[in-house]
Amino acid sequence: MGFGMQPYGIQLMLNEGNKHLSGLDEVVVKNIDACKQLSTITRTSLGPNDKLFVTNDAATIVNELEVQHPAAKILVLAARAQQKEIDDGANLTISFAG
């Protein structure tokens, strides 16, 4: 906190460097951005784009990532459930959501 002010309220509970978003619009935009970023990562496995990590299995890509954002974690869980239930379609699940 600047100017020697002590944190108060929810700021006391947050780790250093984290911030609390209070507006609904602000939170929704951050969730959408996180989902779009995850979709961008897995979308490359839909076709050849000369990438270093070669796989067409989005479930493999998602399992290698350390996803931190709660909304993106929900997409990861949806992709894993799709992969487990039908053994296919994890990439479509994430790409469609993004």
* Structural domain contains residue 67: yes
Whether 16 is in a domain gets the answer no
Residue 57: which domain range? 23-97
Q: What is the DSSP string of the chain?
A: -GGGPPP-GGGGTSPTT-----SHHHHHHHHHHHHHHHHHHHHGGGS----SS--S-HHHHHHHS---SHHHHHHHHHHHHHHHHHSS-HHHHHHHH-
45 vs 50, residue with greater confidence: 45
Q: What is the pLDDT of residues 56-90, one digit of tens each?
A: 677 777 777 788 888 888 888 888 888 888 888 78
pLDDT of residue 62: 79
Domain assignment of residue 7, yes or no? no
Confidence band of 52 (pLDDT split at 50, 70, 90): low
**Structural domains in the chain (count):** 1
Average pLDDT of the segment spanning 1-15: 58
Of 44 and 91, more confident: 91
Q: Is residue 11 part of a domain?
A: no
